[in-house]
Amino acid sequence: MDPAVSAHPDSIDKSPNAKSKPRQRVTTRRLAKMRQQGERIAMLTAYDYPMAKRMDAAGVDIVLVGDSLGMVVQGHESTLKVTMDQMIYHAEMVGRAVDHAMVIVDLPFPEGQLSIDRTLEAATRVLQETRCQGVKLEGGSEQSARIEALVAAGVPVMAHVGLRPQSIHVDGGYRMHRDRDRLVADARAAQNAGAFAVLVECVPPEIGKGITDALEVPTIGIGAGPHVSGQVLVTPDVLGMTAGHVPKFVKQFGDAGAVIDHAIADYVAEVKDAKFPS
């Protein structure tokens, strides 16, 4: 039986006095072991302390401080306007909230596209100024030397192949990527350069499987089908709080947006009617 689904939620003792096994910090070695044992990896994005705290308590394995904050927090049309200082600001909050999950921080545009020295400076800021444990870098084969330099400097790197949001102007927009040979080559190059995992975005399920089969490190899919080592989604999408377009591959697991809307509307009504405070 798949270890990821061996325990049904209803069989778990959720009483206040129930004793649970202490959770250890998720590390690159732990993730590699999960891949080897077939244990699925759960990853979500976080941008602030309260949400990150809840994710960590819920058992999320990897928390990503994503540059997606440019769209879902700041309201921009892409991730390109997010700065390194902004990433550090959000990463510092998230890092303080998390005790068990591994926390990874996106290197925003253009920190991963200019000189390797600049990328090193940005990545080391993440480890020095936050409690986060690594960075995510968009790109594959063309990023091999950069990944190698980061790992040599002591910075764990998650690579990112397939749809790369920081390259939407080159790619001509957000689209499915189908060049299997190129995608596998990119993922292998990232692994060989020292990446501890590869995020695979917007590829057909059979290509997601092909990339996973070609690698030894974990693969994390987002719109890449079920045959990968783990999954990641943007948390506002999961909670029904996204304003605007939601990708087809997203599954909404709750409707927190509706709960918030009702709560705020009730508050406004009670203030206007002089019912609060009583």
φ, ψ of residue 221 to 5 degrees: the values are -100, 145
Around 241, how many Cα atoms within 13 Å sit in the side-chain half-sphere? 16
pLDDT of residue 246: 81
Q: Which residues are catalytic?
A: 201
**Cβ proximity of 219 and 204 under 8 Å:** no
Low-confidence ranges of the chain (pLDDT < 70): 1-21
Alpha helices in the chain (DSSP H): 28-37, 49-58, 69-72, 84-97, 116-129, 144-152, 168-171, 180-193, 205-214, 235-238, 256-272
Q: Which two structure tokens, joined as six digits, stand for 34? A: 């999960």
Report DSSP state, residue 21: P
The residue with tokens 């918030």 is: 260
Residue-wise burial string across 197-207, b where 16 or more C-beta atoms lie within 10 A, e elsewhere? bbbbbbbbeeb
φ, ψ of residue 204 to 5 degrees: the values are -60, 150
**Distance set, CA 9 to CA 13, 14, 52, 116, 252 (Å):** 9, 9, 22, 46, 19
List the one residue out of 204, 202, 230 whose CA is nearest residue 215: 230
pLDDT of residue 16: 46
pLDDT of residue 176: 87
pLDDT of residue 170: 84
What percent of the chain has pLDDT above 90? 85
